[in-house]
Each structure stands twice: as structure tokens, then as C-alpha cells.
Amino acid sequence: MAETTETDHVPLINLRSVTKTYGRGTAAMQALRGVDIAIEAGEFIAVMGPSGSGKSTCMNILGCLDTPTSGNYLFKGVEVGALSRDQRALLRRQYLGFVFQGFNLLNRTTALENVELPLMYRGDPLRTRHQLARTALDAVGLTGWEGHTPGELSGGQQQRVAIARAIVTRPALLFADEPTGSLDSSRSREIMEILTTLNREQGITIVMVTHEADMARYASRTIHFRDGLVVPEHETDHKGGH
Amino acid sequence: MFWNAVILALREIRRNVLRSFLTILGIVIGVAAVIVMVTLGDGATAQVTQQIASLGSNLLMVTPGKRMGPGQNVGAAPFTVEDAESLRRDIPQLAAVAPMASKSMSAIYGNANWSTQIAGSSNSYFEVRNWKTRTGRLFSDSELRSGAAICVIGGTVRSKLFGNQDPIGANIRLQNISCQVVGLLESKGQSTMGSDQDDVIIIPLRTFQRRIAGNQDVNIIQVSVRDGVSTARIQQDIERLLRERRHLSASDENNFNVMDMKEITAMLTSTTKIMTALLSAVGAVSLLVGGIGIMNIMLVSVTERTREIGIRLAIGAFEREVLMQFLVEAAVLSSFGGLVGITLALLSSVLLASLLKVPFIFNAPIVAVAFLFSGAVGLVFGYFPARKAAQLDPIEALRYE
Ligand SMILES: Nc1ncnc2c1ncn2[C@@H]1O[C@H](COP(=O)(O)OP(=O)(O)OP(=O)(O)O)[C@@H](O)[C@H]1O
Ligand SMILES: [Mg+2]
């Protein structure tokens, strides 16, 4: 993936004056008010900002779960706003992995089955599914926990299952919304080590929302949000650069 | 995609065994009701048919009246003994001709009193019905001619009036006549439409006409056709002869009926058919209610599993895949109800058939139809909830709590 960025000037992700308004009339709430972001393949981005500043809203748009109210979102040069629901689903299947805010694993379903889920929708046969899911669980250090349901796992373990599920399809792009939000600092560091390894060794582009500056330090670049806008880089003193 | 959906559905059902069972109860009852009714109806029909066949396929019944069954004189004159006489004389292919008149009344012996059917006929009656005496004898020619006060009784009348005593030679009272029992008939058993064939007293026709009815009427003529002769041909001969005797002109409709076994069977089984149809309709309504039950639970389930649906959609499931998942779940659930219903129906049919003394007849088509129908109920009533699930917005669904 790194070699394509050398020759290709189209960024992996390109947001141009994107706005998002929830509700309408007097109840209308503008969560994004003209966001421009470009992300190249291979980057590890941290997204920071106060609560309610529009981070999750932006992630949903980047992740093709939602479409902008106005502006353009180009993924690999393709206008996402013009795609149908199923076409966006196909995009998510093929290129994207998600670690949602608050795990979002299927209850009463084993770790292995949770991780297999995206492979099932991709149409992999059962044997391939088992194999890939085990490999992904190994990668996050959960060998031997395949048969456990979320209820039988600790918070850190659940988060690692969520990461395994997000990377099992070997996505080009991984979104993580506060992956360490509910974990103590040593657990958080383990998760960050896993993400860093994925970024460096598998070349997966990562976009991660976090509240903690400690976690943002693992990233190659930080994007700050405030009131539905991206804070320009020169206004953020010590962060960023690569 | 389909098999994945089936596996998911089975997993989901296994997780909620009790709820799943309650959900399908309506379908179970509906399917079971329909199958039990049809099976018992088939059994009853088969029994009637078989009993009528045991009378002999060469039997014809001639009754006065238009179209309707025996005993319904719709403005038509009864027959006379002479009508029966001329049938026997002019149609040589007839093996036996039995004119008959009957009435229900009480028979009294000592302190015992039993309400039964009194029939006046000749020995030909026993021949036509292929009925023999167990003890005693039939009527002699002179007794028939003179109208003697004698009778031949069926097994039920014997046990009601005499218990285990020997009835031969005893006198029973019918209305104002004292009648000597000369013969006891073999038992024919429970019969056609639940009536007891053995619950009968037969006396000479002349005795009946003179001392009970007080007229010369013959209400029914039963005839049997010689072996190897077509009943259809004879039916026509009888009609021609009787039209002549009853002075009907070419334009007049018959004011009597000549029924063969097929027609008698159809007449006797029509009631069974109506009952079966009615009760099957009840079963169908129950299936409908069952379907609504499934829709209700599926809607609850979709709401409960909003988060799960959100996850699936976010991960990349297509709308149609989520639709398929819930549709298959509803169909698997209701087909399962169908299977349970079928099992239950077959077990209770066997039991009820033996209780009601009708044969158990396995009706494969109705079982297949019931099964397919139960699956279809799931598809139809599962569609709305499934579509609701498929059309959820993934972000909203993930935020749902
Ligand atoms: N589905 C929605 N309907 C209405 N308003 C919404 C919706 N989603 C988000 N909002 C509003 O948009 C604004 C931005 O929300 P968003 O979830 O993007 O914030 P955030 O930066 O992720 O906050 P946090 O750090 O608390 O997760 C908030 O004011 C929120 O109330
Ligand atoms: Mg958020």
C-alpha cells in the first residue's frame, strides 16, 4: 500500500467542506460545520477533541456508515455520498474495519463467532473463517479464549476481540472510536502496542479517536476537533508533524 | 447465504427455547386441528363406505319423493306392496325385493321398556341385507300372509329387554299388540353414521300395516341385483316400471329415487364432509392467529436485537442479508411449529380414532400441505418484522439502548 501513495496523488481519504446536521427546523443540530481532512495510506491518525465536538460523527462518515449533509467524501477517489446503502456496505466489507465506542460485540456469542462475522458476510467458507479468525485472535493475544462469550471476558479482552473482528478481513483502513476508553493504563498500553504493530507491520491505516494525550502519542499525526470544526495545525502548539 | 441464515435461526431458537415454544403454539394447534379433523373425517368416511360395501354392491334402494334421501316424501305418494310385487315379477334380474315400512316406538317386556325401530317387511329383507338368525327362525309364508303377531329382533333389543335370557318364545308388547319373538338376528354392530343396526325389531309387513300403521303404505323398497348384472341397467328398468305404475307422463320428473351404493354413500358421508370442512376452517383461523403471534414475537425480537442488527449492518451485511436472516428465522420457527403440530396430530388421531372406533387413515397430502403452509405462514408474517430489521439505520441501531 505504501508504494501506491508514492505514485498516486489521490489520498486514501479526502473530506472536503463536509457538514452534518442532525434533525431539522428549530431542532436542527450542526455536528460538523465544514471539515476538510486528507489521510494518506499508511498513516496512524489520532483524533482528539472535547466531548460533543463531532469526532464520532466524523468517524461515521469516514467509515461510510453515514453520509455528509453537504460537502464531499472521496474514498480512494470515489464519491461516497453518491453510493447506495448496499454499495457502502460492500465498501465497508472490503476495505474497512471498525472498533466501535463500547466494543459492540454480539452477546452470548463466542469470541470466535464474533470474529468470524465479517468473514461470513464476505462469503468465506467455514474452514477459512475458522482459520482466519483464530489467526486474528492470536494476533491480539487471545489464543485459548476462542470459545468464551463476551460475558466471560474482561473489558480488555472484549476490546481485543473487537480489534480481532476489525482486522480479520485485513482491511486497508481501521477505525477505532476510543478503543481504550474503558481500560486502565496498562491494558490501554497493550491495545496501543497491538494497533502500532498492525500499522507498522501490516501497513493498515488507522484512524483512532481518543481523549488521552498519552494514547495520541502512539499516532503519527493528531487531528483536533472543536465545535464541529478541525482546529488548524499551527494553532495546536506541540502536537502533530511527521 | 441461505444456510448461514438457517444456522443463525437455529442458534437463536436454541437460545430462547421457552419463548420459541410459546411463539409457535398457535401454529402447533392450528396444524394439529386441521390434520386431526381431516384424518378423523377420512376415517369416518372410509368406515361408512366400508359398511355400505359390506351390504353388498348389488343393493339398490327405492324411495318415494324427489331427489332427497330415504324417508323424505316430498309430496310424493308412498309405494304399495303391489309395486314391489310387479318389480319382482317383471325384472327377472332382481335376486330379492323387500318392501318395507317402519316406525320408532317402545317395546315392552316385563318391566323393561326400550324405544326402538319397528320395521315391517318380508323374508326378502334378510336376503337383501344378507342377514341371518343366530337362534330361532325367520317368518313362514302363512305367517306373512296372515299378518301374525311375531317378530325377529336384533342383538341390542335382546340385551335391553332380555339381558342374557333366551328371548325365543317370549312375548313383547308393541303398542297394543303382543308379539312373539321367533328369531334373534346375528349382530351387525355399530354402523353407518353411528346408528346401531342391531337396534331393530322386524315383523311381517302385513302385521305392521294392519296393526301398527293402519294403512297400506310401503316407505322403501330394497332390492338386490343378481350377481354379474349391471346395477345401472337395472336402475333404469326399475325407473321405467315405476314411472308407468305411478302414471307419470314423459314431461314429469321422477317422484321417487332409485339409489345405488355410490349415491347412498355420498349422501351418508356428506354430513361428515361438512363437519370436517367446518372444523378445518377453525384450524385455519387458528393458523392465522398463530401467524399473527409469530409476527408479534418477531417484532419484539427485532426491537430487542436492534444493537445486534446495527453491528451486522455496520460490519457490512447487506439489507437483503438481514432481511433473509429474520425471514428464515420466522419460517424455521413456524415450520418447527408445523412439525410439532403434525406429530401431535398423528398421535392424537391414532388415539381418537381408536376411541371413536373409526379406522386411522394417514393422509400424506394434507400433512405435506399443513407443513408447507406453516412455513408459508412464517414467511408471510415474518416479512414485515424482517423488513423493519433490514431497514434500520446502522448508526441509530448501534446507539440504541
Ligand atoms: N444521531 C444523532 N442525532 C442527533 N444529534 C446527534 C446524533 N449524533 C450526534 N449528535 C450530536 O452531534 C454532536 C456531536 O456528536 P458526536 O457523537 O460526534 O460527539 P463526539 O465528539 O464523538 O463526543 P464524545 O467524545 O462524547 O463521544 C453532539 O452534540 C451530539 O449530541
Ligand atoms: Mg464519540
The answer on pLDDT for A42 being more than 70 is yes
Lowest mean pLDDT among A78-82, A238-242, B280-284: A238-242
Q: Any CB–CB contact under 8 A between B304 and chain A?
A: no
Burial of residue B125 (CB within 10 Å: 0-12, 13-18, 19+) is: buried
At residue B54, the pLDDT reads 66
Burial of residue B134 (CB within 10 Å: 0-12, 13-18, 19+) is: exposed
Percent of chain A with pLDDT over 70: 94
Question: A68 vs B4, which has greater pLDDT?
Answer: A68
At residue B194, the pLDDT reads 58
Say how many CB pairs under 8 Å bridge A and B. Answer: 54
Determine how many CB atoms are found less than 10 A away from the CB of residue B113. 12
At residue B338, the pLDDT reads 94
Out of B308, B315, B395, closest to residue A92 by CB: B315
Beta strands (DSSP E) in chain A are: 13-22, 29-39, 44-48, 70-75, 78-79, 96-99, 173-177, 205-209, 221-226, 229-230
A51 C-beta closer than 6 A to ligand 1: yes
Percent of chain B with pLDDT over 90: 49
The answer on pLDDT for B186 being more than 60 is yes
The answer on pLDDT for A39 being more than 70 is yes
Q: How far is CA A144 from CA A105, A135, A141, in A?
A: 18, 12, 9
- Nearest CA distance, B389 vs chain A (angstrom): 14
Inter-chain CB proximity B315 and A122 less than 8 Å: no
Instruction: Using the mean position of ligand 1's atoms as its centre, give its distance from the Cα of residue A155 in Å.
Output: 24
SS3 B267: helix
| Residue A3 confidence class, pLDDT cut points 50, 70, 90 | very low
Q: How far is CA A123 from CA A126, B233, B317, B320, in A?
A: 9, 72, 11, 14
Are A31 and A69 a contacting pair, CB within 8 Å? no
pLDDT per residue as tens digits for the range B92-146: 989 999 999 999 999 999 889 999 999 999 999 998 888 889 999 999 999 999 9
Considering only alpha carbons, which residue of chain B is nearest residue A165? Answer: B315
Lowest mean pLDDT among A88-97, A207-216, B280-289, B384-393: B280-289
Looking at the CA of residue B399, tell me the nearest atom of ligand 1. Answer: 1
- Nearest CA distance, B11 vs chain A (angstrom): 10
Pairing assessment for the beta strands A44-48 and A70-75 based on DSSP bridges:
unpaired
At residue A242, the pLDDT reads 44
| Residue B205 confidence class, pLDDT cut points 50, 70, 90 | very high
Q: Any CB–CB contact under 8 A between B389 and chain A?
A: no
Instruction: Using the mean position of ligand 1's atoms as its centre, give its distance from the Cα of residue A100 in Å.
Output: 14
Inter-chain CB proximity A104 and B315 less than 8 Å: no
The closest alpha carbon to B137, from B180, B77, B90, B107, belongs to B180
Q: Any CB–CB contact under 8 A between B325 and chain A?
A: no
Inter-chain CB proximity B395 and A122 less than 8 Å: no
- Given the C-alpha cell 441461505, which residue does it identify? B2
Residues 114-173 of A with CB under 8 A from B: 117-118, 120-123, 165
- Given the C-alpha cell 456508515, which residue does it identify? A65
Q: Any CB–CB contact under 8 A between B307 and chain A?
A: yes
The answer on pLDDT for B76 being more than 90 is no
pTM (global) more than 0.80: no
- B153: β partners: B184, B201
The answer on pLDDT for B1 being more than 80 is no
Inter-chain CB proximity B315 and A165 less than 8 Å: yes
| Residue A33 confidence class, pLDDT cut points 50, 70, 90 | very high
Considering only alpha carbons, which residue of chain A is nearest residue B308? Answer: A106
Lowest mean pLDDT among B221-230, B305-314, B372-381: B221-230
At residue A238, the pLDDT reads 53
Average pLDDT over residues B187-205: 78
| Residue B281 confidence class, pLDDT cut points 50, 70, 90 | confident
What value does the mean pLDDT of chain B take? Answer: 87
Q: Any CB–CB contact under 8 A between A66 and chain B?
A: yes
At residue A2, the pLDDT reads 46
The answer on pLDDT for A73 being more than 50 is yes
Is the Cα dihedral B148, B150, B151, B157 positive or negative? Answer: positive
A226 C-beta closer than 6 A to ligand 1: no
- Nearest CA distance, B284 vs chain A (angstrom): 37
At residue B74, the pLDDT reads 59
| Interface confidence: ipTM more than 0.85 | yes
What is the Cα–Cα distance from B257 to B243, expressed in whole angstroms?
Answer: 11
A210 C-beta closer than 6 A to ligand 1: no
At residue B191, the pLDDT reads 58
Lowest mean pLDDT among B31-45, B342-356, B379-393: B31-45
SS3 A161: helix
**Residues of chain A found within 8 Å of residue B318, distances taken between Cβ atoms:** 86, 89-90, 121
A158 C-beta closer than 6 A to ligand 1: no
| Residue A169 confidence class, pLDDT cut points 50, 70, 90 | very high
Lowest mean pLDDT among A76-85, A221-230, B74-83, B260-269: B260-269
Q: Any CB–CB contact under 8 A between A237 and chain B?
A: no
At residue A239, the pLDDT reads 46
At residue B271, the pLDDT reads 75
Average pLDDT over residues B303-309: 92
Q: Any CB–CB contact under 8 A between B398 and chain A?
A: yes
Lowest mean pLDDT among A31-45, A113-127, A173-187, B335-349: A173-187
What value does the mean pLDDT of chain A take? Answer: 89
**Residues of chain A found within 8 Å of residue B397, distances taken between Cβ atoms:** none
